[in-house]
Amino acid sequence: MASLQTWTKNFLGWVFFCCCCFLPLLLTSPLPPKAAGVASTTHHTCRLRKLNFQPYIRNRTYTLAKMARVSDEDTDNRLIGQQLYVNVKENNRCYMMKRIVEIVVKDVLLTEVKDQYPYASEVVQFFASLTSELSKCKFSGHREHIEKNLEEMKTKIKELGDNGKTKAIGELDLLFDYIENACTDIPKKAGNKKKN
């Protein structure tokens, strides 16, 4: 019995020894290419094709926004703007816009408000399809500033009540442009660079 125990001990010792010596060797060589692959797909998942932004749906979205703006007299508040990007790294902007679109779809477009506007269901479908294409898009680094800016926007919509929803619909044209800019590779306009 004792010899079996010793044998087991020795065997486990060997297993442990082998793991310590050979596992690092095994891990170090294939890791770099693998990590690079992961990094590039992570980047790829936060990209939309330019093809998503067809003139037809742009027109529908802009028209819907224009209609809503008729009944929005409050010009002091702005929901979609550069303040959303404060302290947010450039490579997280697409993720940020994805989250904004999710909020606008869920808290605004899918509420009773949509029945008041023509094209609303088409536009909802369009934005929902963008977020589903971006379903694997994740942030990198710290998320606290992202969450803080999102929370501020949500709070603002809530505080403005029904007018907050109207305002959000009135800014769908901005949202359209922002997510297009953040998630597709379009040539940057000169002097349009924002630092943060």
* Contact footprint for ligand NAG (CB under 6 A): 59, 62-63, 66
Q: Which is nearer to ligand NAG, 6 or 59 (CB)?
A: 59
Q: How far is the CB of 123 from ligand NAG (least distance, A)?
A: 12
Residues in CB range of 82: below 8 A, 6 or more apart: 194
Q: How far is the CB of 180 from ligand NAG (least distance, A)?
A: 15
Q: How far is the CB of 67 from ligand NAG (least distance, A)?
A: 10
Q: Which is nearer to ligand NAG, 137 or 179 (CB)?
A: 179
Q: How far is the CB of 62 from ligand NAG (least distance, A)?
A: 4
Q: Which is nearer to ligand NAG, 63 or 184 (CB)?
A: 63
Q: Which is nearer to ligand NAG, 88 or 171 (CB)?
A: 171
Please tell me the distance from the alpha carbon of residue 139 to that of residue 87, in angstroms, as a whole number: 13
Q: How far is the CB of 63 from ligand NAG (least distance, A)?
A: 5
Alpha-carbon dihedral 161, 164, 165, 167, rounded to 10 degrees: 150
Q: Which is nearer to ligand NAG, 69 or 78 (CB)?
A: 69
- Tell me the residue length of the chain: 196
